Amino acid sequence: MRAILNEIGRLTPIGTVRKVDGSVTHMKVYPEFCEGLKDISLYSHLIVLYWAHRRDNEEERQTLLVYPRRHNRKAETGVFSCRSPSRPNPICLCVVELLKAEGCTLTVKGLDAEPGSPILDIKPYLARAMVSS
Amino acid sequence: MRAILNEIGRLTPIGTVRKVDGSVTHMKVYPEFCEGLKDISLYSHLIVLYWAHRRDNEEERQTLLVYPRRHNRKAETGVFSCRSPSRPNPICLCVVELLKAEGCTLTVKGLDAEPGSPILDIKPYLARAMVSS
């Protein structure tokens, strides 16, 4: 039987990418979610999940095979075997360095998102916990 | 201005967790998304994003502070500073070891999900790409 996302199974943007300055990005978490940032400064690196809103259209979401640019492959590869933002659920993932946390604003390094990208989630990056096997 | 997820901004489960046998999990990707698994066997480890469907209710999604079990903390911490499945968007992330890819079924080790959990995305895990800063 199929897994069904119930009616509550919607995405709520918790913030947005405000400004990109080279490799430095300013993210704004919306005030009503700010409390969730408590203790964030304990971590040097974070995992940021954001929505590739420019790829959120039927064509890109139906794309299952791509020629990944970064991999320099000449053959098509599956979207689940690469980081292409064209995929059934355009959720992008970046591990970033936390440079500053001030109020609801996080300044991070290495976020590959453009201004206006909706932020879906932030998690601490724990290198030792990434591969548990 | 707020980032708005447009009407297409919905989640589509690409598969489901079928069977959990100790630390080994069998994931089934739905046939219409199977082509996206091309070349998946090139990777020893994968990132799996799944939906914590049992936490998908208003109360859990409004939770911003928790006592994280695994961290053994006595004080509340923000949900973005821990891996609690109670969070505004109950998207869980696991790095897993790929044991076998056969047709639409992936056998993996280390997936912390229960049978029936909707799979949202699969990405290759590239240790060298996880921290780009």
Residues of A in contact with B40 (CB under 8 A): 78, 80-81
Residue of chain A whose Cα is closest to the Cα of B46:
A81
Residue of chain A whose Cα is closest to the Cα of B10:
A10
Predicted ipTM of the assembly:
0.89
3-state secondary structure of A62: coil
Report which of residues A129 and A28 the model is more confident about. A28
pLDDT value, residue B1: 43
- CA B75 to chain CA centroid, nearest Å: 26
B87, B63 Cβ separation under 8 angstroms: yes
pLDDT value, residue A59: 92
Task: Kindly give the residue spans of alpha helices, DSSP state H, lying in chain A.
Answer: 58-61, 127-130
How is residue B129 written in tokens?
Answer: 């790409």
- Does the beta-carbon distance from B10 to A14 stay under 8 Å? no
Closest CA to B21 of B110, B119, B121: B110
The pTM of the full predicted model, rounded to 2 decimals, is 0.90
- Does the beta-carbon distance from B89 to A121 stay under 8 Å? yes
Return all residues near A4 (Cβ < 8 A) that are at least 6 apart. B13, B118
CA distance A100 to B1: 22
CA distance A95 to A110: 7
Closest CA to A82 of B102, B122, B109: B122
Tens digit of each residue's pLDDT (9 = 90 or more) over B120-130: 999 999 876 56
Longest CA–CA separation in chain B, Å: 47
- Does the beta-carbon distance from B64 to A95 stay under 8 Å? no
Residue A132 has pLDDT above 70, yes or no: no
Length of chain B: 133
Closest CA to A105 of A2, A44, A27: A27
- Does the beta-carbon distance from B78 to A11 stay under 8 Å? no
Residue of chain B whose Cα is closest to the Cα of A3:
B118
Closest CA to A96 of A123, A65, A59: A123
B26, B113 Cβ separation under 8 angstroms: no
DSSP category for residue B127: H
Nearest Cα of chain A lies from the Cα of B65 at a distance, in angstroms, of: 6
Exposure string over A85-97, b if 16+ CB within 10 A, otherwise e: bbbbbbbbbbbbb
Whole-number mean pLDDT of chain A?
A: 88
Q: How many CB pairs under 8 A join A and B?
A: 224
Q: How far is the CA of A115 from the CAs of A32, A119, B47, B124, in angstroms?
A: 20, 11, 25, 26
DSSP category for residue B97: E
Residues of B in contact with A28 (CB under 8 A): none
Residues of A in contact with B110 (CB under 8 A): 131-133
Closest to A14 (Cβ–Cβ): which among B76, B88, B110?
Answer: B88
B17, B27 Cβ separation under 8 angstroms: yes
Nearest Cα of chain B lies from the Cα of A56 at a distance, in angstroms, of: 7
Tens digit of each residue's pLDDT (9 = 90 or more) over A106-124: 999 999 999 999 999 999 9
Tens digit of each residue's pLDDT (9 = 90 or more) over B2-54: 555 544 468 889 999 999 999 999 999 999 999 999 999 999 999 999 999 88
CA distance A28 to A15: 5
Beta strands A24-29 and B45-51: pairing type?
Answer: unpaired
The amino acid at B118: P
Nearest Cα of chain B lies from the Cα of A9 at a distance, in angstroms, of: 7
Lowest mean pLDDT of A41-50, A103-112, B61-70, name the range: B61-70
